[in-house]
Amino acid sequence: MNNVYKITAVILAAGEGKRMYSKLPKVLHKICGVTMVEHVINCAKEIGCEEPVVVIGHGAEQVRETIKDVKFVMQEPQLGTGHAVMQAGEYIGDNDILVLYGDTPLVSADKISEMYQFHKAGNYGATVLTADLENPSGYGRIIRNHIGLIESIVEDKDADQEVKKVKEINSGMYFFKGTELKEALKKLTNNNAQGEYYLTDALQILKAEGHEIAAFKTNDPTEIMGVNNKLQLSEAAKIMQSRILKSHMLSGVTIIDANNTYVDKTVKIARDVTIYPGCILEGSTMIDEDCIIGPNTTIINSILNKNVTAKNSVILDNEIGESTTIGPFAYLRPGNVIGRNAKIGDFVEMKNSNFGDNSKASHLAYIGDADVGDNVNLGCGVVFVNYDGKKKYKSIVEDDCFVGCNVNLVAPITVKRGSYVAAGTTLTKDVPEDSLSIGRVRQENKEGWMKNK
C-alpha cells in the first residue's frame, strides 16, 4: 500500500495455546514454512507498519529468540484483550492503530489495506473487520444501526435467540484513531465475571463519546480464521498452500497436480518452471526459469539456476548451475556447489563438495569433501574416502580427469589435471598430471582349482 498515513500495528501474541498440546508457544507453530505470528507481522509490514509491536506472554523467550525486527511488550498476567493492548500504551499516540492477532495467519495485506482506506474515508473512531459465518456460534455478533454503523457487539453467551440469528461476527481485528484509543483504554474496567479488560468495551466507550464505529466486512471468512489446535493448523495450512500455488501458477509456473505439491511461502519460483506431483519445496529455495522438478523431489534452501532438471531426488542447501541434471534418486546433502551442464545421476550421494562444469557422476557414487574440476568423469562405484574414523579430509580431482569404476580415493589426495585412474584402483597418494594410475592386484587365474576342491 502506498501509505501516506502512519500506522502502528499491535499484534496480540501472549496466549498459552493449551489446545495445541505442545511445548512450542502457539504463535510459533508454522504454516507453509513461516510461523503464524510472522505471517501476521509480514501482513502489517506490507501495509506500512515498519516495526510492529508484539505483545508476548507465554513462551516469551522463545518468541523473542525467533522473531526479529519488531518491538516487544510483555503481558503478565494475561487479563484480556484490552489489557494486552494497554501494555503497548507507550507506542500508542497520534498514529492510527491496527490491532491484529498472532494466531490469525490467513489475514492478508490486501484486505487490511482495503479496510484501512475504508476507515480513513469515513473518518471513523474505530473500524471492525467482520465476516458472515454459516455457523457463528461462539463469536460476538455485529448489530448495525439503520445507517449500517455498529450499534453494539453482543457476545455469544449474552445473545438472545433473535441476536443469535445474526451471522455477521466480530473478528477482533480493528483500526483505531490512536489518540482516541489511548483515552478509551484509560477508562476500561474489569467489572465482569472473568475480571478481564475487553477491547470491545473500548468501542462502546468511543461510541458513547460520539465517535462512529464502522464494520468492514470481508467476503472471505478464511481471512479471519483463528488457529487454536492442530486440526485448525492443518486447515489453515491447506488454505495458505492453495493461495501460494495459485500465485505461482498465475505467475507462469506449471504445477501438474496442485493437490500433491507442497511449496513454502518463502520459496521463489520463476516462470516456465514445471513441477511434477509429489514435490516438496521449502525454506529459501530459489528456482530459475525453465527448470523441471520432480516427480517426488524434495528441495530445501537451495538455488537451482536456469534449465536444471531434478527427478526423484533430495537436494539440501545446494547451488546447482544451469542445464545440470540431477537424479533420479540422487541425495545432495548440504554444502555442494555444482557447475553448469553437469550430471549427478542415480544413487549418487554428495556432500560439502564442488563439482565443475560438464562433469559427470552418472551413478552409484559417493562424493564427500571434494573439489572436482571441469570435464571430469566419475565412473560407477567411485567413493571419496573422506573419513579416517576421527577426522575428515579433502580430495581434489582436477580438470579433464577420468576416474574409472570402483575407484576409492583415500583422502587427503589430489588427482592432477588430465589423468586417468583405472577401474578398481584404490588411490592413497597423489596422481601426477596426464598420468595413468593403476592400484590393484594383478589378476591371476588358477586353472582347475575348483576341480581339485
Q: Is 363 annotated in the active site?
A: yes
Residue 29, Ramachandran bin (φ over 0: left; ψ between -120 and 50: alpha; else beta): beta
Looking from the CA of 95 toward its CB, the CA atoms found within 13 Å total: 21
Contacts of 376 (CB under 8 A, 6+ apart): 356, 359, 360, 397, 399, 400, 401, 402, 403
Report the distance separating Cα 281 and Cα 69, nearest Å: 26
Rounded CA separation 282/29 (Å): 16
Those residues whose C-beta lies under 8 Å from the C-beta of residue 446, and which sit 6 or more positions away, are none
227 close to 102: Cβ distance less than 8 angstroms: no
End-to-end Cα spacing for the chain: 88
By C-alpha distance, which of 76, 70, 64, 80 is closest to 11? 70
β-pair type (319-320, 303-304) = parallel
Backbone dihedral region of 91: left (phi > 0), alpha (psi from -120 to 50 degrees) or beta?
alpha
Q: With contact defined as beta carbons under 8 Å apart, do 252 and 163 qualify?
A: no
> Are 372 and 383 spatial neighbours (Cβ–Cβ below 8 Å)?
no
Q: Which residues are designated catalytic?
A: 363
